[in-house]
Amino acid sequence: MNNIELVKGSTVFNDVPAKLVLADGRIFTGFGFGATGTTLGEAVFTTAMTGYQESMTDPSFHRQIVVAAAPQIGNTGWNDEDYESHDHRIWVAGLVIRDLAARVSNWRSERSLADEMKKQNIIGISGVDTRALVRHLRDHGSIAAGIFAGEDALRSEDELLKIVQDQPSMAGADLASEVSTDKPYVLEPEGETKYTVVAYDMGIKSQTPRNFAARGIRTVVVPANTPFEEIKQYNPDGVFISNGPGDPATADAMVGIVGDIISADVPLFGICFGNQILGRALGLKTYKMKFGHRGINIPVKDLISGRIDITSQNHGFALEGEAGQEFDSPFGPAHITHVCLNDGTVEGVALKSGRAFSVQYHPESAAGPHDANPLFDQFLALLGSK
């Protein structure tokens, strides 16, 4: 471990001072790990107790400082297999935890969390009362923040607060283009090719094309905002719109592209950011949530089948609407298909024809439960119906 000097109880101490500063003036002190310096972003919390590597490498966490509700992080270390970013990049702006595990204890681990964060210049702070911090974020909402570690933490608190308050807002941020691939790439299926799907990379996770590959689908991953005319060259049997970061209200180009896809009667499936884009194309509006959904234990009800799935989620924006709502869209009748049982948030939308559907959660289950994985089979069946 980096800079560890002594272990007292369950807390790992080191000699790197650090501060977490929230834009509303609340300040938490602790100990830095990983890199040192300054990092800025929106402070959000995740309730997941496992899967920190998958979460940290999820491009949907771009420009976000993640607060772990679980009390100890780092015990399973880091490996070269569980990256969810195509380029093995950590996308979180920073990590806030209570206790950093004193040692790694997992047979798959290849190095420690702190070592990987230092390698990728990601700043973390430990020793924080994360219970108090999570309650603060639940009460007041996700908020601009900054982690200052090492010499940067020694500056005056007024100076640190001004730096935090001067950063750009997450509302209105167009971030998908910052995390998307620069050029198309292909993932071949396992065995015989049954179908070809074009996947728009709004911040796609690696496990998604792997799920397609396991079902005989050849996946052509293309950059965000690639015009529909350009993807015709791949003769897609269907189109997938991935998860990703940022405000869906800025995704006008992708909303227009989705309209072109639906008008051409190409089957479409979207998740997370893709759900918000499809919803917008169908005429719904989006809004910024108070503190969002981030975790792997969020209950969602399928209003069509009545089935309840425990799902993996990571989003701070959502579609406006009500459970079971039916409405007219530019492409025919549509309806709200899924709802969160915790707070009533819209979790799915579809054309009543079934030719386009989406959900607000992560069926690839990385990390998370596998309840929603059959959605890939639903898309496979839709491709076959063409």
Annotated binding residue 276: yes
Give catalytic status of residue 272 as yes or no.
Answer: yes
Using the CB atoms, write b or e for 299-324: b if 16+ within 10 Å.
ebbbbeeeeebbbbbbbbbbbebebe
From the candidates 54, 116, 347, 364, which is the catalytic residue? 364
The span from the CA of 143 to the CA of 76, in Å, is 29
- Alpha-helical runs (H) found in the chain: 52-56, 113-119, 130-140, 157-165, 176-179, 207-214, 228-231, 252-263, 273-281, 374-385
The one catalytic residue in 42, 54, 136, 272 is 272
244 is in an annotated binding site: yes
CA distance 316 to 292: 4
273 is in an annotated binding site: yes
Neighbours of 227 (CB within 10 A): 12
- Catalytic-residue membership of 370: no
Phi, psi of 282 (to 5 degrees): -85, -5
| 317 marked among binding-site residues | yes
Query: Please, what is the end-to-end C-alpha distance for the chain in angstroms?
Result: 54
149 to 8, 128, 235, 350, 381: CA distances (angstroms):
21, 13, 51, 46, 51
Distances (CA, A) of 360 to 69, 269, 306, 339: 22, 11, 17, 9
| Structure token digits, residue 323 | 């459970």
Buried b (16+ CB within 10 A) or exposed e, 93-105: bbbbbbbbbbebe
Q: For this structure, is 362 an active site residue?
A: yes
Catalytic residue among 136, 315, 338, 362: 362
Q: Is 118 helix (H, G, I), strand (E, B) or coil?
A: helix
* Residue 162, both tokens: 């001004």
Q: Which amino acid is at 383?
A: L
Q: Which amino acids are annotated catalytic?
A: 272, 362, 364
Which residues are annotated binding-site positions for L-glutamine?
60, 244, 246, 273, 276, 314, 316-317
